[in-house]
Chain A
């Protein structure tokens, strides 16, 4: 069984079983593959170098749209313009955090620097956002319903399995964030 993250003298530490690390690694890689920017053959190399993407569109996949939301609520044109300037680097920021977390999964004892912890919290959050879309969590009631699934012997179908995985990721993120809040308190 995984151990909750803890804040102590060494920093933030955690422990995951090999199967749990394997699970997290595959979830992280799924999210990374969703976030990889499309290769464009005709792209202006200078624009690409400074992170512009003039051909970008609002994502069609709900989960990707949740990871890369519109910046304005009621102005799709302005949101798209903003995407052209920022989406590529946002994708890279997210992929960077996910990759950093995946690297830490090579050992079962996890020791995190403040920056590593931030990367982990971002990565776990993105994993949860994607799982939540797959589970159709639209409101707090849906979330509570999913939260009731805690027993691995109940995993009978894809949905119940996903719910258990989501709850595991939630538990792990919550313990990590509590440790991070403690480390903020100590530093202050």
Chain B
């Protein structure tokens, strides 16, 4: 990603509304598909964070944490869900111009970076 100016401190934990986040109702810890966002040298760090906040309804701090993970580790899992759910997210991410793929959570796709789930993909309702 391309460096942009520093973002402000996190004061807005979990208060934004993700209009399209659709994984709210999922509670099972090991739903078998992941949405992966990959690093690229073009997308602005601020833009990636904006997309995470506005689409998934993530707090600023969570969005920035995931964005930094994409930037530093090359990829980050930002949501879990059924295949259909993560595919719908992937199309939305492609709409925004982010490089997103879906993968089976235990599929051993061999990508770099972590495979554990730091982002539960739960859009918080504000």
- Minimum CB distance partner of B43 in chain A: A125
* Cβ contact within 8 Å between B111 and A143: no
| Bound CA–CA A181/B63 (angstroms) | 12
B11 → A minimal CB distance (Å): 8
B122 → A minimal CB distance (Å): 17
Interface of B is mostly: mixed
* Cβ contact within 8 Å between A137 and B5: no
**How many residues of chain A have a CB within 8 Å of chain B?**
42
A59 → B minimal CB distance (Å): 12
Residues 1-40 of chain B, each 1 if its beta carbon lies under 8 Å from chain A, else 0: 0101101100010011000000000000000000010000
Residues 97-132 of chain A, each 1 if its beta carbon lies under 8 Å from chain B, else 0: 100000000000000000000100110011011001
* Cβ contact within 8 Å between B50 and A184: yes
* Cβ contact within 8 Å between A72 and B101: yes
Interface residue from B97, B103, B126 paired with A72 (Cβ < 8 Å): B103
Instruction: Indicate whether A139 reaches chain B with its CB closer than 8 angstroms.
Output: yes
Interface residue from B7, B15, B97, B109 paired with A181 (Cβ < 8 Å): B7
Beyond A125-B96, A125-B97, 18 additional contacts (C-beta under 8 Å) are: A66-B99, A71-B91, A71-B100, A72-B101, A74-B109, A74-B110, A86-B87, A97-B95, A118-B54, A122-B96, A125-B43, A132-B41, A143-B2, A170-B44, A177-B50, A180-B50, A184-B53, A188-B12
Q: What would 19 A/B residue contacts be, using CB atoms closer than 8 Å?
A: A66-B99, A69-B99, A69-B100, A70-B101, A72-B101, A73-B103, A118-B54, A125-B43, A125-B47, A137-B42, A138-B41, A143-B2, A143-B41, A173-B47, A177-B50, A180-B54, A181-B7, A184-B50, A185-B8
